[in-house]
Each structure stands twice: as structure tokens, then as C-alpha cells.
Amino acid sequence: MNIPILSVMTFTPLVGAVIIPFLPKGRDTLVKWIALISTLPALLCAAWIFYAFQRGVAEMQFVEGPLEWIAAYHIQYYLGIDGLATPMAILTPLISTICIIASWNISKQVKGYFSLFLLLQTGMTGVFVALDFFLFYIFWEVMLLPMYFLIGIWGGPRREYAAIKFFLYTLLGSVMMLLVMIAFYFYSDGNTFNILKLADQSIHIGPMTAHSFRLICWLGLMIGFAIKVPVFPFHTWLPDAHVEAPTAISVILAGILLKMGTYGMIRFCFPIFPDITFELAKWIAIFGMINIIYGALCAMAQKDFKRLIAYSSISHMGFCLLGMASFTSEGMNGAVLQMFNHGTITAQLFLIVGIIYDRVHHRDIDGFGGLAHIMPRYAVWTAIAFFAALGLPGLSGFISEALVFLGAFKMWPVITAISAVGVVLTAAYILWTYQRIFLGAKNEKYAGLPEINWRETVTLAPLALIVLILGIYPKALLDIMNATLVSINAIFIK
């Protein structure tokens, strides 16, 4: 089989994005179906990748290229996925398809919405499959634009502020990355943007061999990625963007965009600057700890349901940082598994917020109460997602958090011990929220609320299923990741 499967997965949504604006006016349902149909090939590709990916191989698979793109700068079209990229490459089409279904109730400027959404999907997929730094950068930036419009046009009351804040923050991060990228090009032997070649320390030349210059480059990349994660002092765009974005876009933001930050750290900072990463690993762990505790404390203080989930994302992404800073195979596996799990769990949480918001048009946690009497099935779906988020054994969140702690404790016992408090805090705010929304006396104001419908169930069910399966049988994903992560880790053990 010689189908360029990664290209198909990346660019079929783009085809949809180009077709949709030319569809006749007023045919909104048609637009939605076309959007759904153009994401399906990507989903099938993802399924095929999951099936055909060779377990136990650390190298890149499904490689396409390298093909010459711009000869003058040795820019190549070069795609491939390994154990680090594959979970994300599978997650992206999955979440995107679910989001298209979740966006079925969009009624304002439908063509624009779905066209931009599909463009966004192309950008996101491209980031995870690109092996050329320049190509990676193009995909990374292509994503910003649709995101800006999706928040700014279809968002909540403060959408304009949130949209420009998101754009400025992320652009600041990415231009720093741009400079480092150019520095790589000039200070690598043979002038290359090839990510795999750059990991070879022997081709670094000139200032790129000097410690201080490497430190600055490392920081440039790291801050670029940290803004995306977001790591503690750079996180302020996230609650705004999340709260104002429409439901499906919040899901994309939390489910996929945040992972790009941690993915970038492991893909670039770790193999290309192993010395600096090792030197500053303590700080990665400390910032991970701050994220976990600070995010959880902020979440606890929120009155807005969606803002609470946004802060819980910050907290959960902290586990990824803590895990990757451990330089143990458990910690690394935990971090990447946490990226995937957080994608599925938080996607559910945001969908759940969206479902209730569509019905009552507010998100005030204290304004509900007793919903379990009115919408029992909704309460059950929420319970699954909530328990997964707080790390209940048997659900996927537990596995990744446990792996992270196992790995991190060997390297950073004190930091890990403090971070463990975060688990308790998480349980506290999640259970407290569940109690305030679903338990207690029946709120007569909402007695007539309709139960969760089949479309909403379709969006939640696959994610809940994955959470259950990975909770019981994490090997399904760990097998894919392990070989690559062990080989990245091997750089540091030397």
C-alpha cells in the first residue's frame, strides 16, 4: 500500500474548507454534512494508523518524503510519525470529528464556521506529522488564524478581547520559535530544517555549540511552547479564550492545541538540546508543580463552570511537565499518555458544559442544584468524565497520573510529593462542583429541561469508551509510545 496516508489525513479537511464557501446560500445542513464527510477520511486514516503502526519501533513510520519544496533554503516536505506523534495524530481527527457533530447547532454564518474549522484541523494535524521545522512552523501558524476568527465571531460576550489576546500571546511565542528556527538553520552543518537531523549533536556548529547561546535558544523554544501549554506565568490567555469560545472550539483548544506545547517540548527541546534540558529539568518539574497546584486552587475558586474546567486544564497539563522532567520511561510514558487522556477527558468536560449552557444559557455553578433528578442520563455521563478527571482507578486519568508520579518520584521526590497534593485538590473541586450542580434539592426553575439528546450522546460516548478502555487496558496506547519514548530517554541516561 503506497497511499500517502499522512498527507491524506492532513489535507482532506482542507479540501472541504475550500469547497464549502462555494456551496449555495442557505443550505446549512448540506454544509454541515460536507464538513462531516471531509473529516471522515482523516478519521479512517487515524484508525488505520492505530491498526498498522508497528509497535516496538522507535523510528519514524509512514514516512513521506523528504521532497524538495524550496531548494534555496533546503526546505522539505517531510512527514512521519513515531510513538510520540502517533497518539496525537490519532487524537486530532477523533476530536475534530466529534467537534463537527457537536457544532451541529451552529446557526450563525455556517459556511464560514465550518470552513475555518476544517482549516484549523489541517493545521493541527500538520503540526503533529511534520518533520521539517519550517513545515511545522507553517502548520503551527496556520492554526492561529481560524482560531482567532472562530473565537472572535462565534464566541461569547467578550469574544473580541479573548480572540486578540489569544492571537497576540501565541504569536509572541511563535515568533521566538521562528528566530530559533533560523538560528538552527545557519548553525547546523549542511544548513537544514530537518528535525531528525537537528537532533544529531555533531552537526551543531558555530555559536550553537556554545552553552550560553544554546541556553537562549532553548529558552526561546521553551517559552514558545510554554505559552501554548500554557505554563504558569503565560497562562492568562487560556481562561479568557476558553470561556468565550463556542463549545466545540473550547474542546479543540483543550483537547488538541494545548498538547502542541508539550509535544513541541518533547519533540524539539529534548532531543535537540539534551544538555540544557537536563540542566534545567528541575525547573520544568517546578513549573509543572506550580501548574498542578495553582491550576487546582484557581479552579476551586471559580463560579463559572467553563472557567473551572479551563483552570483544571492548566492543572492537568502540569502532570505532563512533571512527567517529562523525570527522565524515566514511566514518567515519559505517563506524560504522553496524560496528553492523550487529558484530550479525551477535557473534551468531554467541555462538551458537558456546552450541553447545559445550550439549555439554560448560563454557567453559574451555584445556579443549578438537583439536576440529577431532572436529567439523570446527563448526570451519569458527567460522572464518568468527572471521575476520569479526578483520577479514579479504572479510568484512564488514573493510569497516566500514576505513571507520572512513579517516574517523577525517583528524580524529584520533594516536588512530586508537593504535586501529589494537587490530586487531593482536584478531587475536592471536582466533587464539590458535582455536588453543587447535580445533587441537592430539585431546582423547580429547571424542572422542564430536556434530557441529553442522541446527538450529544454520540459526541460523549466514544470519548467515554476510550477513557474506560484505556483505564483498564492502557497497553493499547503504551505499546505504541513506549519504544520512541525510551529512545528519547536514552539520550539522558548516558
Partner 1 sequence: MPNLYSLQFFIPELILVFVSLALILASAGRQGLRPARVQAGWSKDLPIYISITGLVLSFIFVVRQFAVGSPPLFWGLLILDKPAVFFKLIFVVTALIVIIFSAFNISAIRRSCEYYALISGAVLGMNLLAMADNILMIYLALEFVSLTSYLLVGWDKSSPKSGEAALKYVLYGAVASGVFLFGSSIYYGLTGTLDIGPLTAAFCHTSAYKMAGLFMLAGFFYKIAAVPLQAWCPDAYEGAPTPVTAFLSVAPKSAGFAVLIRVFGEIGGTLGWPIIIAAISAVTMTFGNLSAIPQNNLKRLLAYSSIAHAGYLLMGVACATAGGDKAVSFYFIAYLIMNLGAFLVVQMAGEELSSYSGLARRGGYGALIAIAMTVFLLSLTGVPPFFGFVGKFYLFSAVIDAKLYWLAIVGIINSVISLYYYMRVVKTMFFDEAVSADSFAKPDRTLTALLIILSLATVVFGLYWQWFSRLVEFVTAG
Amino acid at 16: G
Q: What cell numbers appear for 475 in the block?
A: 497497553
Nearer to partner 1, 124 or 337 (CB): 124
Least Å from the CB of residue 277 to partner 1: 22
- The contact mask relative to partner 1 for 132-171 (x = CB under 8 A, - = no) is -----xx--xx-xx--xx--xx-----xx--xx--xx--x
Q: Give how far Cα 150 sits from Cα of 128, 220, 380, 475, Å.
A: 21, 28, 30, 36
- Tell me which H or E stretch contains 64: strand 61-70
Q: Which stretch binds partner 1 (CB under 8 A): 67-75, 224-232, 249-257, 408-416?
A: 67-75
Q: What is the DSSP string of 320-381?
A: HHHHHTT-SHHHHHHHHHHHHHHHHHHHHHHHHHHHHHHHHS--BGGG---HHHH-HHHHHH
- 3 to 86, 178, 235, 324, 454: CA distances (angstroms): 17, 32, 40, 34, 35
Residue closer to partner 1 (CB basis): 159 or 204: 159
Nearer Cβ to partner 1 (172/490)? 172
Burial class (CB in 10 A: 0-12, 13-18, 19+), 79: buried
Least spacing, CB of residue 39 vs partner 1, in Å:
21
Residue 4 Cβ, how far from partner 1 at the closest point, in Å? 18
Residue closer to partner 1 by CB (options 272, 324) is: 272
Print the binding letters for residues 281-310 with partner 1: x by CB under 8 A, - otherwise.
Answer: ------------------------------
Min separation Cβ 148 and partner 1, Å: 7
Give whichever of 40 and 164 is closer to partner 1, judged by the CB atom: 164
| Helices (runs of H) and strands (runs of E) counted in the chain | 23, 2
For residue 284, which of 267, 298, 270 has the smallest C-alpha distance? 270
Cell 494545548 maps to which residue? 258
Q: Which is nearer to partner 1, 167 or 368 (CB)?
A: 167
Of the listed pieces 179-187, 327-335, 359-367, 389-397, which binds partner 1 according to CB under 8 A? 179-187
Select 68 or 451, whichever has its Cβ closest to partner 1.
Answer: 68
Gap between the Cα atoms of 3 and 210, Å rounded: 43
Q: What DSSP line would sit under 278-294, residue for residue?
A: HHTHHHHHHHHHHHHHH
Binding residues for partner 1 restricted to 68-107, rule: CB under 8 A: 69-73
Residue 183 near partner 1 by CB under 8 A: yes
User: Which residue number, 146 or 422, has a Cβ lying nearer to partner 1?
Assistant: 146
If the CB atoms of residues 18 and 469 are measured against partner 1, the closer one turns out to be 18
User: Least Å distance between CB 108 and partner 1?
Assistant: 10
- Residue from 185, 278, 357, 492 touching partner 1 (CB under 8 A): that is 185
Beta-strand (E) ranges in 221-299?
none
Q: Is the bond preceding 393 in cis, omega lying within 30 degrees of 0?
A: no
- For the segment 220-259, give every residue that binds partner 1 (CB under 8 A): none
Shortest distance (Å) from residue 474 CB to partner 1: 37
Helix axes 454-472, 475-493, angle to 10 degrees: 50
Q: How far is the CB of 348 from partner 1 (least distance, A)?
A: 30
Closer residue to partner 1 (CB): 48 or 69: 69
Distance CA 211, CA 273 (A): 10
Contact indicator for 140, 124 with CB cutoff of 8 Å: no
d(CA 249, CA 61): 30
> Residues 39, 40, 44, 50: what is their CA dihedral angle, to the nearest 10 degrees?
50
Which residue, 227 or 335, is less far from partner 1 as judged by CB?
Answer: 227
At closest approach, how far in Å is the CB of 219 from partner 1?
Answer: 12
Q: How many residues form the binding site for partner 1 (CB under 8 A)? A: 31
Q: Which of 124, 178, 464, 478 binds partner 1 (CB under 8 A)?
A: 178
Nearer to partner 1, 8 or 164 (CB): 164
* Angstrom distance (rounded) from CA 59 to CA 471: 27
From the list 186, 283, 432, 473, which residue makes contact with partner 1 (rule: CB under 8 A)?
A: 186
How far, in Å, CA of 83 to CA of 486, rounded? 10
Which of 36, 57, 63, 179 is in the footprint of partner 1 by CB under 8 A? 179
Least distance (Å) between residue 209 CB and partner 1: 15
CA atoms lying within 13 Å on the CB side of residue 464:
18
Binding site for partner 1 (CB under 8 A): 69-73, 137-138, 141-142, 144-145, 148-149, 152-153, 159-160, 163-164, 167-168, 171-172, 175-176, 178-179, 182-183, 185-186
